[in-house]
Chains A and B, each alone.
Chain A
Amino acid sequence: MMTRKIRLSDGIGYAFVYAMTAAAFIPLIAFLVYVLAKGIGRVNWEFLSSASSSMESGGIFAPLFGTLVLTLLSLLVAVPISLLAAVYLSEYARKDRWFRIIELTIVNLAGVPSVVYGLFGLGLFVIFFGLGKSLIAGALTMACMSLPLLVTVFYQALKAVPLTLREASLALGASKLSTTFRIVVPTALPGIFTGVILATARIAGETAPVLFTVAAYYMPNLPQSLSDQSMLLSYHLYVISTQNTGVKDEQKFAVTLILVLLVLVVNLVAIGLRSRARKKIGNLG
């Protein structure tokens, strides 16, 4: 009697865990498959490479190009600063109160809503610096937004480098600075690269921070300079799925597919790299 009761409650427990896990992941997988099925028919080389003559027809080269340029620019700004910040935290900073403050700031910065980054970019870059709504203003905004993610991942990558490597280098007479940049950073490179790729996916997918800083509803031409506005893939999807633009569902699914694929592939590369980096560092230790 007793054992039976226990078995029943065990059954309920297992049922809960499995049902909830299924509820969490089945919609995800179903959605990915569905978007692939609905959108793939529209995707071909022409769709990707031709600029659209109007919103309803033609390719998505303009928003795709805008997203790539914006992402690259943001990384160009954010990666060097983040790397130096991570170097400071892992190699130089004493673990005092200031260290805790920086740590807490990074956690909080990561939690600031993306639309608040948009307001900030509008207030600082677009208005105060007078950059206007432009690629450069958008990139600087995105750079600030990706800073916490980059610093965190870089910091962990540098931390994972075994102490013995540093000691060996220092014992051979190398200065701390050259030990850091000739030994520690190169060893941590796979982890650093992982961070860069994760940030790429994040920037490419974000919409809210670019609304007021760079995104253009529709442009007949590609942006000619960094002070031009640009179409962006994520914002383009927002526009065609909310405004009555006469864009067909198939086209919407195709744009969704490209955006999801872009982010997904980039993320999977990062995950693969990270697991390899962990193994490699493990061997060094």
Chain B
Amino acid sequence: MSLEKRSRIAEYLIEKGLIRLSGYAAVLVLLLILFFIMREGLPFFGVYNAGDFLFKTDWYPLSGRYGMLPLLTGSVMVTVLSLVVAVPMAIGTAIFISELAPARVRGIFKVLLEILASIPSVVFGFLGIIFLGPWVQKTFGLQTGLNAFSAGILLAFMALPTIASVADEALQAVPRSLREASLALGASRIQTIFRITFPAASSGVIAGVMLGIGRAIGETMTVMMVAGGSAQVTMNPMAPVRTMTGTIAAEMGEVVMGDDHYRALFMIGLLLFVITLGVNTLSGIIIERIRRGQGGQKS
């Protein structure tokens, strides 16, 4: 009797303690990330003007000037370039695997997408340095092929699996009846895809693109190796740029722990964290809506 009672108590403790606590581990980690990045970064604003940090364009840590606008524009630039390349490819791929390919081919391409997603970012960086950079330099007659354009192209291939698989999911969620109705009215397969199925899935595609933005803006090694690393505000895609992620990764090794430069890098990290959090939350909400909407349509 008492043995049973004791094992009951043990079970209760495990269930209410260990399992429940672990359930909240993710929340804990997120809060810890926020806390420790602020802990190391926020004192920066005690010694440096927040407005200067965000809006000035001179990033010269060695002379104590921390205007991070060029890093922000650098990140935005490579992200936009990567989307321009990735979105058409991802939409084409998603339509192919969801609407046109036979089941077996679909399976193969989904595996290929996963392989593409699994290639380490440092490998993309290596690829940029050894092929793409020299090629871009020669083709466009530039001083250096390591620039925003090259980084954007590589990032496109890294964002592509994310966008394509979310878009594929959205296309799959479009009710069969819509396609059948369109085909029955005499529309061709392609007309049905572009006029009916794809528009019906468009919010999912947008969610995928937003996840792709989050992926591209947070990508570190590839842009550090390939984007060229010059902190300047420019609209020229062929110019070398420096991103927020690349700056953190490249400079953290050289700073003295606890000095202004060190804290400034943590503040960049905080900004990055907030941006990706915003983008991901928004796409999460859209995806959630689609799943719910889909449930409604089926019943």
Nearest CB on B from A81, distance (A): 5
What are 9 contact pairs spanning A and B, CB under 8 A? A24-B160, A24-B164, A25-B93, A107-B280, A108-B281, A112-B277, A113-B276, A208-B121, A268-B115
User: Is B26 in contact with A109, judged by CB distance below 8 angstroms?
Assistant: yes
User: Is B225 in contact with A241, judged by CB distance below 8 angstroms?
Assistant: yes
Cα–Cα distance between A155 and B179 once the two chains are bound (Å) = 33
Interface residues of B in 185-200 (CB under 8 A from A): 188-191, 193-194
A281 at interface, CB cutoff 8 A: no
Stretch at the interface among B35-43, B64-72, B137-145, B234-242: B35-43
Q: Convert A116-134 into 0s and 1s, putting 1 for each residue whose CB lies closer than 8 angstroms to a CB of B.
A: 1111101110011000000
Contact of B191 among A6, A89, A124 (CB under 8 A): A6
Contact of A111 among B40, B116, B280 (CB under 8 A): B280
The answer to whether residues A105 and B26 also contact, given A20-B91, A208-B245 and a CB cut-off of 8 A, is yes
Stretch at the interface among A161-169, A223-231, A255-263: A255-263
What are the residues of chain B within 8 A of A128 when measuring CB–CB?
A: 36, 39
In the complex, besides A102-B23, A148-B26, 18 extra interface pairs with C-beta distance below 8 angstroms are A10-B191, A20-B96, A28-B116, A81-B22, A82-B25, A84-B18, A108-B281, A109-B26, A111-B280, A124-B36, A205-B121, A211-B253, A237-B122, A238-B225, A241-B126, A242-B125, A256-B123, A263-B119
Contact of A105 among B30, B36, B90, B129 (CB under 8 A): B30
Cα–Cα distance between A120 and B218 once the two chains are bound (Å) = 15
Interface of A is mostly: helix
Shortest 7 CB-CB contacts between residues of A and residues of B:
A20-B92, A113-B218, A88-B23, A205-B120, A84-B22, A13-B190, A123-B36
Nearest CB on A from B38, distance (A): 9
The answer to whether residues A116 and B284 also contact, given A14-B190, A16-B92, A109-B30 and a CB cut-off of 8 A, is no
User: Is A177 in contact with B25, judged by CB distance below 8 angstroms?
Assistant: no
Cα–Cα distance between A147 and B97 once the two chains are bound (Å) = 30
User: Is A17 in contact with B95, judged by CB distance below 8 angstroms?
Assistant: yes
The answer to whether residues A175 and B11 also contact, given A14-B190, A116-B218, A208-B221 and a CB cut-off of 8 A, is yes
